[in-house]
Every structure is written in structure tokens, then in C-alpha cells.
């Protein structure tokens, strides 16, 4: 009986895709890690496409920019629905600030991974109240790989996993950086203004 060489058999199957989620509090290095992974894909000559929510213009209208001022070009989108069409001809898809995308982001990431793409998603896992943020819990559940990064507590210096809001605003989405937020450990976050 004839058996095809394994390298020919592999070509019968489409490339396997997957989802990677990078999560954590503000100032924990999520975007920095996303940029690092995307730059490595570029070095490997993989075709990449990067997206961010159009509402996030804190540092730049188009680029994804980390708190360390590293940046990479991205395409701002209003709806997660736009992503699957725009990412059609690439191998690696990067998404920053995933918590700000609409509910369609889970379906978009699943569709991209099912079509053989590597999907790298970065976002806040919790909001300023310490509650799961947007579609991040669903994305973490369906991902093959989840990396939780941590910041340093601005009060005591311990490992921080919470984003403490310095403003009295109760809006769930309030874009800002060190003027409105600081990273805190669980204890200092729970102590609030008394920390």
C-alpha cells in the first residue's frame, strides 16, 4: 500500500489559526507586548494587519502607541464587522484595546482564527470598578493562549492588577492615562482614596 510522504499530506489541510489574548490592568505592558509580537511576525516576513477602535485617539489617530512611546501602524475601525474583510489577505491580525470593540469582536476573532490566521488581542480584563470589561472574558475563554501581564502598584509597589480611577466620573469608558488612572494592587484598590 502506497502512503504519501507526510509533507504532501500536510498540504491537504488549511493552516491552523489560533487566538492569543494579552490582558491586564492599565500600565501593565499589554500594548508593548502586542507590538513586540507583531514586530517578530514582521521580521518573519508574515503579512500582518493591525486594528484599534476608532474612538481611541489618546496618542495617535491611527498608530497603536504604548506608554513607552513604541508604536506600530494600525487601522482604526468603528465596528468589529469591518475587521474580517480588511484582514482577508494577511497571516497575523493584531487588535489593541479589545475591550472597546462591540460584541461582534468575538465572532470576528473566531472567524479569523478558523480561517487559519494568528489573532493577537490586547485589552483590559477589568474596568475601573474591578468588573470584567466588555468582551474580554469571552475572548479569554475561546483563546488558545492567555497572557496576563501586571503593573506595579503606584501606592505600595506590589504587583498591580487593577486600574484605579482618580476621577469621580462613573462613565464606564473614560479615556485617559496617568492623569485619570493609576495601577494598584488588590489591597490598595480596595482601600480606594484611603490608600
H or E element, residue 86 = helix 81-86
The residues with which 22 forms a beta bridge, in sequence order, are 122, 147
Cell triple for 157: 509597589
Does residue 97 carry a catalytic annotation? yes
Report the C-alpha gap between 103 and 100 in whole angstroms.
9
Of the candidates 152, 178, 130, the one whose C-alpha atom is nearest the C-alpha of residue 28 is 152
Q: Pairing state of beta strands 159-160 and 151-152?
A: antiparallel
Active-site residue, selected from the candidate residues 32, 97, 103, 144: 97
Cell triple for 84: 474580517
Contact between 86 and 75 (Cβ < 8 Å): yes
Report the C-alpha gap between 36 and 9 in whole angstroms.
33
Strands (E) located in 37-96: 48-53, 64-65, 71-72, 75-77, 92-95
| Residues identified as active-site | 97
Amino acid at each position: 500500500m502506497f502512503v504519501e510522504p507526510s509533507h504532501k499530506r500536510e498540504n491537504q489541510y488549511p493552516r491552523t489559526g489560533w487566538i492569543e489574548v494579552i490582558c491586564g490592568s492599565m500600565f501593565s505592558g499589554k500594548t508593548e507586548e502586542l507590538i513586540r509580537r507583531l514586530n517578530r511576525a514582521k521580521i518573519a516576513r508574515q503579512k500582518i494587519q493591525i486594528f484599534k477602535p476608532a474612538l481611541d485617539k489618546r496618542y495617535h489617530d491611527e498608530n497603536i502607541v504604548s506608554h513607552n512611546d513604541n508604536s506600530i501602524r494600525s487601522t482604526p475601525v468603528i465596528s468589529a464587522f469591518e475587521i474580517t474583510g480588511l484582514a482577508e489577505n494577511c497571516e497575523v491580525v493584531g487588535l489593541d484595546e479589545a475591550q472597546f470593540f462591540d460584541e461582534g469582536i468575538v465572532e470576528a476573532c473566531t472567524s479569523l482564527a478558523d480561517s487559519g490566521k494568528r489573532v493577537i488581542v490586547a485589552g483590559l480584563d477589568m474596568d475601573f470598578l474591578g468588573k470584567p470589561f466588555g468582551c474580554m472574558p469571552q475572548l479569554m475563554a475561546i483563546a488558545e493562549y492567555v497572557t496576563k501581564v501586571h503593573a506595579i502598584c503606584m501606592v505600595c509597589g506590589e504587583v498591580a492588577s487593577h486600574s484605579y480611577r482618580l476621577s469621580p466620573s462613573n462613565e464606564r469608558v473614560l479615556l485617559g492615562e496617568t492623569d485619570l488612572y493609576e495601577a494598584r494592587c488588590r489591597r490598595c484598590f480596595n482601600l480606594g482614596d484611603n490608600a
